[in-house]
Amino acid sequence: MTYQGLISRYKQYLELPEHTQIISLLEGNTPLIPMPRLEEEFGGEIFVKYEGLNPTGSFKDRGMTAAISEAAGRGAKTVICASTGNTAASAAAYAARAGLRSIVLIPEGKVAVGKLAGAIAYGAEVIQIQGSFDDALSLVVEITQKTPIALVNSINPYRIEGQKTSSFEICDVLGSAPDWLCLPVGNAGNITSYWAGFKQYGKGLPQILGVQAAGSAPLVLGHPVEKPETVATAIRIGKPARGEQALEAAQQSGGKIIAVSDEEILSAQRMLASEGVWVEPASAAGLAGLVAETASGTFEAKGKKIVVVCTGHGMKDPSIITESFNAPQVIPAKYEALVDLVGA
């Protein structure tokens, strides 16, 4: 049968109200890519779940198809979210598809260009907040409590329903859950969703390694971070809305939540790109965590099946690459000049 998107495919596993009216961009069904070079380096079988290949370039589309389908079905006219960027682009796209007005609040000056451009292209009303993501989230919670505007952040339970589907897909492809699942943690909706999904699907449970950036690691520190900072702007979040659930998922699964430095994140980004998978910095945090755990001897990858979740495409944040390199060399449009340069 032709692929009709996540809700159609996994309907029986998703708790969505009767009034839900499917709004889909045929999200999901993303590849689980084997990584033979990483396998050689770490032992074990290593796969990347490449969520950057969703319609708007991040995993957020899984939860958004569900949240917007529910909101549209109950007659909402306007949706709103706070976002470090990817949620904004996804909400804007699905709202556009449903014919709804979308408003997105972002922290001033800290959103990667590909995400901001996406939100604008899909027609969202973009508002910058003089504050952090956490401040923006408080504002959207307040306005949705006092007005009919619908909240589509991952506090919305239907976002979690939709995002569970990635764990279903992984089990469908591998035949069972992997031994380890490594992923970045920001507002903690995704780790919550994976854990709920694996528990529900009944194909085994992975140990979950959740990874935060050291400059914004409230779940590792055990308290909120007032001024979170990291090159991985997607997970620059100091007060995760589903923090408790994230800690529970890590603990129940026999895994943990750790922090890695920006350097480790960027190094993991290069490792992935050198094997053909370019992801945005936050998306490389899962691999950075796996590298750190392996190096410290806490984790032995050999003989294990490991899925590294790469949540967003590299094209979301091109500046992080272009700003750290010199512009390509310029030569005359002459064959001799080319041969001179490349050697023959």
| Interacting residues toward ligand AN7 by CB under 6 A | 58, 60, 83-87, 154, 184-191, 234-235, 280, 282-283, 311-312
**Pick 68 or 191: Cβ nearer ligand AN7:** 191
Least distance to ligand AN7, CB of residue 207, Å: 18
Q: How far is the CB of 42 from ligand AN7 (least distance, A)?
A: 22
Instruction: Put the strands of the sheet holding 101-107 in their side by side order.
Output: 125-129, 101-107, 78-82, 150-151
Q: What residues pair up with 177 in beta bridges, in sequence order?
A: none
In angstroms, the first-to-last Cα distance of the chain is 51
| CB atoms near residue 218 (< 10 Å) | 23
Q: Hey, which residues does 257 pair with through a beta bridge?
A: 210
Query: Smallest distance, Å, CB 86 to ligand AN7?
Result: 4
Rounded to 10°, the helix 113-121/86-98 angle is 10
CB of 40 to ligand AN7, least distance (A): 26
Of 190 and 294, the one with the shorter C-beta distance to ligand AN7 is 190
* Of 83 and 144, CB closest to ligand AN7: 83
Q: How far is the CB of 191 from ligand AN7 (least distance, A)?
A: 6
**Which positions ≥6 away from 56 have C-beta within 8 Å?**
25, 86, 89, 90, 93, 118, 122
Distance CA 192, CA 186 (A): 11
Q: Given the complex with ligand AN7, which of 185 and 217 has the nearer CB atom? A: 185
Residue with smaller CB distance to ligand AN7, 5 or 184: 184
Nearest-CA neighbor of 47 among 151, 181, 152?
181
